[in-house]
Each structure stands twice: as C-alpha cells, then as structure tokens.
Amino acid sequence: MSTEFEVGVFVNSVMHYFESAVQQPAACGIPHLAVRRSPELADYTGIVRISGQRDGVVVFTAPRSMLCVMLMCMQDTDLSHEHLRELVGEIANTLSGDAQRNFRHQYSVSVRSVVHEGDAPLVYPPYRRPIVIPIAWRSYQARLVVCLDS
C-alpha cells in the first residue's frame, strides 16, 4: 500500500472529524517534511502508535484556544484541562479507528495516548522525516504529523 494512500487516509479522517463532529470543515494546508528536527507540538497532542509491517506514529496536535472553540461549537461549556485532553483523545481515537479499518491486514494500531505540553518529548522512528500536514480551521492551526518507516 502506498505511503500516499496511507497518509491520505489519516488526512481524510481528520477532515471528516471536523465536518461531522464540529460541523465546520477544516482546510488542509500544504504538507512539508520535518527535516533534521522534530515537528513542533502544540498544547495538546494525541498520538496513535503503529506497529507491524510498518512502525511509526500518527500525531494530531492543536493549541488550547482552538480546542476550546471546537468544544464551544459542539455546545460544550466545560473547557477544563481534562475535557480538552478528552477531545484530542477522541480525534486520536478516530485516526486509530480509521487506520484499523483500512490497514488491519498490514499493521496493528495501538491504543491512542494524549500528551500535554511539557510532557516527555515524542520519539519518531530513526532516520525518517515526519510529514507535517497543517490543518487550518477558522483562524486556528493544528498539525497532523505522520511518520512511518519503510
């Protein structure tokens, strides 16, 4: 299965989450490579670890302000730290579910985890350049990072 198809599945998964759960579509920015340095992570980060024929991580990272507005759009008034973590975890869960459905014959997808700014740094597969896909929503910007070894 081509990398293009695999990354496309994750991008569509995030886009569909914004359309269905938040009821406001997001726009996919121009993807680029994180060369010689790890991609910057925002306030809240959901991580999906992949193992099997390909090892790697898929990361959704978003600033606190964006997540708060997303919750408000979902008619949720609880903007606590735990609730923001849950929201990012839900997006990671969506990514994980779509990966399991599309690539179940190729690799296994671990349970998602959520990290907050200041937690232990994220470790990417060695000698790989993560693909960073900016996700623009209203005036905010999140990032989807896909890093799979070959």
The contact set with other proteins (CB under 8 A) reads: 1, 3-5, 7-9, 11-13, 16, 19-20, 27-33, 35, 94, 98, 101-102, 105-106, 129, 131, 133-134, 136, 150
User: In the bound complex, what is the minimum distance in angstroms from residue 2's beta carbon to other proteins?
Assistant: 8
Q: Whole-angstrom Cα distance, residue 59 to residue 38?
A: 12
User: In the bound complex, what is the minimum distance in angstroms from residue 141's beta carbon to other proteins?
Assistant: 9
Task: Give yes or no for a contact between 71 and 87, defined as CB atoms under 8 angstroms apart.
Answer: yes
Task: Give yes or no for a contact between 87 and 62, defined as CB atoms under 8 angstroms apart.
Answer: no
Cβ nearer to other proteins, comparing 33 with 111:
33
Cβ nearer to other proteins, comparing 28 with 73:
28
Task: Give yes or no for a contact between 124 and 38, defined as CB atoms under 8 angstroms apart.
Answer: yes
Cβ nearer to other proteins, comparing 49 with 97:
97
User: In the bound complex, what is the minimum distance in angstroms from residue 77's beta carbon to other proteins?
Assistant: 27
Q: What would you measure as the largest C-alpha separation in the chain, in angstroms?
A: 43
Residues 6+ apart with CB under 8 A from 146: 6, 7, 10, 56, 58, 59, 130, 131, 133
Cβ nearer to other proteins, comparing 33 with 72:
33
Question: Of 67, 60, 65, which is closest to residue 15 (Cα–Cα)?
Answer: 60
